[in-house]
Amino acid sequence: MQFACRQKVLFRHCDPAGIVFYPRYFEMLNDCVETFFDECIGWPFETVHKEAAVPTASISVDFTTPSHHGDLLEFNLMVVRLGTASMALEFRATCGEELRLKGGSTLVYVGPGGRPQPWPRTVRDAMADKKWGTQ
Amino acid sequence: MQFACRQKVLFRHCDPAGIVFYPRYFEMLNDCVETFFDECIGWPFETVHKEAAVPTASISVDFTTPSHHGDLLEFNLMVVRLGTASMALEFRATCGEELRLKGGSTLVYVGPGGRPQPWPRTVRDAMADKKWGTQ
Amino acid sequence: MQFACRQKVLFRHCDPAGIVFYPRYFEMLNDCVETFFDECIGWPFETVHKEAAVPTASISVDFTTPSHHGDLLEFNLMVVRLGTASMALEFRATCGEELRLKGGSTLVYVGPGGRPQPWPRTVRDAMADKKWGTQ
Amino acid sequence: MQFACRQKVLFRHCDPAGIVFYPRYFEMLNDCVETFFDECIGWPFETVHKEAAVPTASISVDFTTPSHHGDLLEFNLMVVRLGTASMALEFRATCGEELRLKGGSTLVYVGPGGRPQPWPRTVRDAMADKKWGTQ
């Protein structure tokens, strides 16, 4: 099962070529991950970031087809591996049947000093039923 | 030989954790590519985009160490392959001796309708002496 | 009557001080105006911008209280004057009962060459019943 | 005397209409203020923000003429009033002889809890010779 969130392509996302400027896709992806933590894990980023952080350690994306102003995008997110302090995600965005991007990223859970630390139980429990991923 | 451009980490790049928010790195990378086209190829983006575009088809980055507000980053860029209508880049950013990120991307040269088209001679000539890459 | 749209303060909006970085408020305001044109005037920005544009000619904002990550903001928008080619807006954002910002802006409707031109009938009609403003 | 900083209009600043998206001007202005604190006051933002902050309390801008991709902008900044805990700025941006924007803003110096506090001596001293403003 995958987490889905929708995002209309807005004026602020688009470049002089009239398509989404690719750094804006990463903002959309971050919003999607933030919403996933809030709605699926029950651990919103504003709580996580009081004492810790979940920086992105790596990310890789193929932009298969450009998106235009007004397009209705659906982002799908799946946790493919939960490590001790890391989380591997796979994602894609589509507009109707058309693939716009696909890729993967790895997040790391770090403490105040930026050192990786084990995910808290709330994350492990949320992943235990394999509802949002393959593990 | 590699193209280098410098960027101080500014307030607007940083997140509540006090480090660079990773989508801002992609803005920095885009600025770096834009400066490379201007200064090394002699074909500034404002000219390119009058009738064409160079969208990013794929990108992959490892963020090895976080960057903090005030850090002086040096971005290095190298063209590793020039295809008919594509350009493969490798890049990294360092702060002093410390690696902050490394990765690669592929750009595509497209015409008004978004269709790939052969790079103009100005690009081929600029790459011919292998000054900025391996090809 | 005022147009309202909601925006949760997300990670990407916030600065190292943990509050909304003020240029992000202008992105939120632009999203709000874009949604207003879509939902209230029935003339979405992706249609407007095929042949014209509605640049902001001036804007003035008081940021009365900072907003933090996770805050649920409500933006309220009102058209206070519809000129031949201009539109004066007033807006404010609140979190619960607390005012976060208030201000005003003027938009101008311009044609392909950037020259002001009269609003089309769809805008005049939408404003005629004074539903979304005072005129 | 005014502080000046230059900024080329880059691809990332521009919208589908091919001109600077106005929230990007506020990012440029913030960069300019940050550089002013660093170079003229000798108190870089990365030091300021270790224990305090200088949020923008209000801002007002007239965008007199649009800026296009590739334009070379010069921002001019002047401190028009230094209060106990506030600083009033006036600024404008030009491209050659042409005015692109002008406006003013008020910054406030706040401590860890977000409460206004008196500017430190380094700021008062830097302003004392009236070099960067009228007070």
Task: Look up the domain containing A76 and give its range.
Answer: 3-130
Residues of A with CB under 8 A from a CB of B: 16-17, 19, 21-24, 26-27, 30, 49, 53, 55-63, 66, 114
Chain A residues whose beta carbon lies within 8 Å of the beta carbon of residue B63: 55-59
Q: How far is D26 from chain C (nearest CA, A)?
A: 5
CATH number of the domain residue A28 falls in = 3.10.129.10
pLDDT one-digit tens code per residue, A63-91 = 999 999 999 999 999 999 999 999 999 99
Mean per-residue pLDDT, A126-135: 70
How many helices (H) and strands (E) in chain C?
3, 5
**pLDDT number for residue C134:** 59
Instruction: Please state the separation of Cα C15 from the chain's center in Å.
Output: 22
pLDDT one-digit tens code per residue, A109-128 = 999 888 999 999 999 998 87
Number of domains in chain A: 1
Of D10, D15, D24, which to mutate for an interface test with A (greatest number of A Cβ within 10 Å)?
D15
* B58 pLDDT higher than 70: yes
**pLDDT number for residue D127:** 83
- As given in the structure block, the two tokens for residue D47 are 């030091």
Rounded to the nearest integer, the mean pLDDT of chain A is: 94
D22-36 vs C22-36: helix crossing angle, rounded to 10:
170
Q: Nearest to residue B8, comparing CAs of D39, A119, D18?
A: D39
Least confident of A72-81, B120-129, C23-32, D74-83: B120-129
Domain assignment present for B135: no
* A34 pLDDT higher than 60: yes
* A32 pLDDT higher than 60: yes
Domain assignment present for C135: no
Q: Residue C14 is nearest to which of B16, B23, B69, comparing CB atoms?
A: B16
Domain assignment present for A135: no
Domain assignment present for C108: yes
Q: How far is A46 from chain C (nearest CA, A)?
A: 5
Q: Residue B12 is nearest to which of D10, D31, D46, comparing CB atoms?
A: D31
Domain assignment present for A26: yes
Report the sign of the C-alpha dihedral through residues C27, C29, C34, C39, in that order.
positive
Domain assignment present for B94: yes
Domain assignment present for D30: yes
Asked if residue A43 lies in contact with residue A37, where contact means CB atoms within 8 angstroms, the answer is yes
The edge-to-edge listing of strands for the beta sheet with A56-63 is A3-8, A72-82, A86-95, A98-108, A56-63, B56-63, B98-108, B86-95, B72-82, B3-8
* A100 pLDDT higher than 90: yes
Chain D residues whose beta carbon lies within 8 Å of the beta carbon of residue B26: none
Domain assignment present for A110: yes
Residue B134 confidence class, pLDDT cut points 50, 70, 90: low
Chain B residues whose beta carbon lies within 8 Å of the beta carbon of residue C16: 11, 14-16, 18, 69
Rounded to the nearest integer, the mean pLDDT of chain C is: 94
Cβ–Cβ gap B44/D68 under 8 Å: no
ipTM (interface pTM):
0.94
Size of interface B-D (CB pairs under 8 A): 40
Of D46, D50, D73, which to mutate for an interface test with B (greatest number of B Cβ within 10 Å)?
D46
A22 Rama sector, left if φ>0, alpha if ψ -120 to 50, beta otherwise:
alpha
* B135 pLDDT higher than 60: no
- As given in the structure block, the two tokens for residue C135 are 């005129």
**pLDDT number for residue C130:** 63
Which is higher by pLDDT, B12 or B125?
B12
* pLDDT, averaged in runs of 10, over chain D (135 residues): 93 94 98 96 94 96 97 97 96 98 98 92 84 63
**pLDDT number for residue A28:** 98
Instruction: Please state the separation of Cα D131 from the chain's center in Å.
Output: 16
User: In this structure, what are the phi and psi dihedrals at residue A86, rounded to the nearest 5 degrees?
Assistant: -125, 165
**pLDDT number for residue D2:** 87
